[in-house]
Structure 1
Amino acid sequence: MKLVNKKGIFHAQFKTTQGTTKTITTRCTNRADAERVVKESGLKDLELAARAGRLTQEAIGYLISGRKLTLQKALEDYQEWMETRGKSPRTIMNNVHYIRSWITAAQVEALPPAAITEKHISDWINNRESQTKANSRTIMLAAIRSFFFFIAGKGWTPNDPSKLVSVNYKILSHVQKETTVKRVFTAAEYDGLVKATDGFWRFAIQASRELGLRLGDICQLEWDCFRQPGYITVWTDKRDKRVSLKMSDGLAQAATLQPVAHARYVFPEERDIINDPTRRAYLSVSFTRICARLGLKGKSFHCLRHTFATESNAEGRSLTQIASDMGHSSTRTTEGYVHKI
C-alpha cells in the first residue's frame, strides 16, 4: 500500500484479493494527515491483509462514506436514493421489505457491504425449507440486486455478489415452479362489472379493459392526460414509459363526466391511497369485494389488463403493438398476458 498525490489530494493505493489495484481518496491535502487517516482506518497493512484474504472492507467503507458503514445503514441510504429516483412507493416498500428480511435472516446487519459473499444471498434465496414460489424468489433476488447495484455505484464494494446468484429450480417442487395463471373476464362478466359500479370504479374498469392501463396509472391520471381529443396519454408509474392510447367514444364520454375535485388530478382521493404503502391494498380489496358481490371468483383488477391483451391478440393485433400500448419493454412480457379464449 502506498500514498499517491493526485491533484493535491492524497490517495491510498493497494491491491485487492483479485490482484487489481484500487485507489481510495483520503480527502487530505498533506501527507501527514493522509498517513494519520490511513493508520486510524486500519489501512496500513491493507495489501498484506488482502493477500491473506482478510481485506479490511470496513475501513474501505469508512474512507469512502466518511462513517462506519454497515448493511443496515446502507439500506437507509438505498431507500432515500430510490425516493430521489422517483420510484413508486410500492416499489420502494417491497424492495426495502425484501432486503430487510434478507439482512435479518442472514444476520448480516452489522457487516460492511464488501464483506457479503454470494453465499450470504444464495442461502436465503434458495432456502430449501421455504415454500416460496420461484417467481417470488426471482422478485426477492431482483430487490437484492438493485440494492447491490446502488452499493457498487457508491464504491462501497469492489464486487457485486448478487450477480453470482440465481434461483435454483432443482430444489423446488412442481407447485413452486408453476406460476399463478391470471384469468380473463368474459364479456358478460365485464358488462356486469360496469353496470354494478359508478364513478372511479366504473371508469377504471373501462379504462383497464379497453386500454390495458394498470390500476396505479389510472389513479395517477391528470386532466392534462386528456389534452389530445379522443386520446389518453400516460407516463406509466411502473416503468416511466409514455403511452398514448385512442379511447372509444364511450370511454371518452366517461372521462368528461368525472367531477373536477382537484385542479390537477382526476382522482385525488384514489391517488392519495395508491401512493400510501400502508393503504394501497384497500383498492385491491375493494375491487375483490365488487367481484364477490357479482359471484366472480379468482379475479383481480390486473385480470382486466390480461383481458385487454388477450382480446387485442384475438382481434389480430401484433404482440409488438400490444406491448407498446401496455408499456412493455419486451414482447416476451406481453406473451404472458395473452391467453387462449
Structure 2
Amino acid sequence: MARRGENIYKRKDGRWEGRYIKGRQKTGKIHYGYIYGYKYSEVKHQLILKKYEKQTNSSKNLLPYEGQLLDWTSYWLETFVRPKVKSSTYASYKNKMNVHVLSTIGSIKLQKLKQADIDTLLKKMNGRLKASSIRSIFSVLKNCLSKAVSLKLLAENPCIGLELPKTRKKTVQALSITDQAKLVKEVSSSQKFFSIILALQTGLRIGEICGLKWEDIDFENNTLGVNRTVLRVQTEDKAGRKTEIVEVTPKSNNSQRKIPITESLRKKLLELQKISTSEYVISNKHKALEPRTIAYRFQIIRKKIGLEKFSFHSLRHTFATRCLEAGGNIATISSLLGHSSTKMTLDCYTNSFFTEERQLVEKLEFN
C-alpha cells in the first residue's frame, strides 16, 4: 500500500484511503475511521473536514475555563492531590511543577496548551536534568492534565504521544570487604557515627534511621521495626519559600517491616540506650537527627579514609551485597530491604551476582 501525505494511502484496488482518529475504546486503544476515494485531493479534503468536525465537537463539549495552567495546577494540587497523599509527596509534586513546569509554560491558558508546548519543555529540561528526573516531572504533569480531561476542561491530554528520554540503568556502588572493614574500624570508637554501623548491619535508608525510635526495638526477640521515616521537604509560608523536617510512614507497605539484628548490634544498641536522652535512637540530645546531618557526618569520614566516591546510600547497597555473598536468596534480601518487589531487587543488584555467575560457568568447563 503506497502512501502519499499524512495518513493517506494508495490501495491495490486503485483507490486512496484516508485514516483519522474517530475515538478511543474503554481500554484506551485508538478507534480509526476511514475515507475512500479515487482522487487523492478528494480524500485529503474529506480528511480535513473530519478533523475539523472532531475538533469542533470536542470544543463544544468542553466546559468554559479561562484559567492558565498555573491556576489549574494550583487547584489540582490542593483539591485532588493534597487530601490523598503524604505531605512529602504533595511537596514533591508541587516543587516539580513550580520549578520545572510552571516557570516555563505556566502562563499559557489551559485550553490553549498544545503538545508542541510540552515538547519544548521536555527539550529544555533535557539539557540540564537526568532522564529519570524528566520522566518523574513529566509523570506529574501528565496526571495533572489527565484530571483536566476527565473534568472536560481539555479535549485530550497533550502529553500523550510524546517521546521521553531513555533512562540508563544505575550501577550499584557497594564497598568492598576491605573498604568496609576500614570504615568500621574508623567509626566504631565513636557513638557520633553509630548511624553508619546501623546502615551497614540493617540496610536501613537514611530517613528510616532518622525515624527509628527505641520503642521500635525488641531486645528480647532481637528485632528492629521500621515504622516511620524522616524527610526534609520544601514548603511555603508567609515569610517565603523554605524547607522543613517531616516524619511520615514508610514509602510503601513493604517498607514497613521487621528486621532481625545480630547479637553484636543488640549490645551496641543497649549501650547507646543507657546514655540516650531521646525517644529516637539517633539523636542530638532530645531531637532526632535529620538526614542532612547524618549524610554530612559520613562525608567527613569518607574523605578521611579515601572513600569519596561512595554516598551514605552505598551502605545500604553494601548490606545487600554482603547478604548476597553470604548466600541469601533474592526474596529474603528484598524483604529485608523493604523493596516493593523482587524484580526491583534483581534490577538493583544484578552486577553483584557476577562472582556467582563466574563460578557457575566455570563448572561447565570441559576439555
Q: TM exceeds 0.5?
A: yes
Shift, 1:138, TM fit? 2.3
Unaligned runs of 5+ in 1: 1-16, 21-47, 61-67, 170-176, 275-279
How many residue pairs were aligned? 275
How is 1:1-341 mapped onto 2 (pairs within 5 angstroms)? 51=56, 54=59, 59=64, 69-77=67-75, 79-80=77-78, 84-85=83-84, 87=86, 89=88, 91-109=89-107, 111-112=109-110, 116-127=113-124, 130-148=127-145, 160-162=157-159, 164-169=161-166, 178-197=168-187, 198-199=190-191, 201-202=193-194, 204-227=195-218, 229-235=221-227, 237-241=250-254, 242-256=256-270, 257-258=272-273, 259-263=275-279, 265-269=280-284, 274=290, 280-338=291-349, 339-340=351-352
Measured in 2, the distance between the counterparts of 1:208 and 1:303 equals 9
Could you say if the C-alpha distance between residues 182 and 260 of structure 1 is closer, same or farther in structure 2, counting changes exceeding 3 Å?
Answer: same
Higher strand residue share: 2
Instruction: Report if aligned partners of 1:212, 1:309 keep a CA contact under 8 Å in 2.
Output: yes
What residue identity is the alignment partner of 1:251?
A: L
Instruction: Report if aligned partners of 2:69, 2:107 keep a CA contact under 8 Å in 1.
Output: yes
Shift, 1:232, TM fit? 0.8
Could you say if the C-alpha distance between residues 19 and 86 of structure 1 is closer, same or farther in structure 2, counting changes exceeding 3 Å?
Answer: closer
Instruction: Report if aligned partners of 2:126, 2:134 keep a CA contact under 8 Å in 1.
Output: no
Identity %, equivalent residues: 19
Task: Using structure 1 for the length normalisation, give the TM-score.
Answer: 0.65
Could you say if the C-alpha distance between residues 248 and 272 of structure 1 is closer, same or farther in structure 2, counting changes exceeding 3 Å?
Answer: closer
Measured in 2, the distance between the counterparts of 1:103 and 1:57 equals 24
Shift, 1:74, TM fit? 4.1
Q: Secondary structure at the match of 2:348?
A: coil
Instruction: Report if aligned partners of 1:125, 1:140 keep a CA contact under 8 Å in 2.
Output: no
- Provide Cα deviations, 1:40-95, integer angstroms capped at 9, x if missing partner: xxxxxxxx9962654585725xxxxxxx7543344445555655545363x44443
Task: Using structure 2 for the length normalisation, give the TM-score.
Answer: 0.61
- Provide Cα deviations, 1:156-178, integer angstroms capped at 9, x if missing partner: 65655445444144xxxxxxx54
Measured in 1, the distance between the counterparts of 2:201 and 2:216 equals 16
Measured in 2, the distance between the counterparts of 1:266 and 1:153 equals 47
Could you say if the C-alpha distance between residues 131 and 19 of structure 1 is closer, same or farther in structure 2, counting changes exceeding 3 Å?
Answer: closer
Q: Secondary structure at the match of 2:98?
A: helix
Q: Secondary structure at the match of 1:288?
A: helix
Q: What residue in structure 2 maps to residue 3 of structure 1?
A: none
Larger Rg belongs to: 2
- Provide Cα deviations, 1:18-58, integer angstroms capped at 9, x if missing partner: 699xxxxxxxxxxxxxxxxxxxxxxxxxxx99626545857
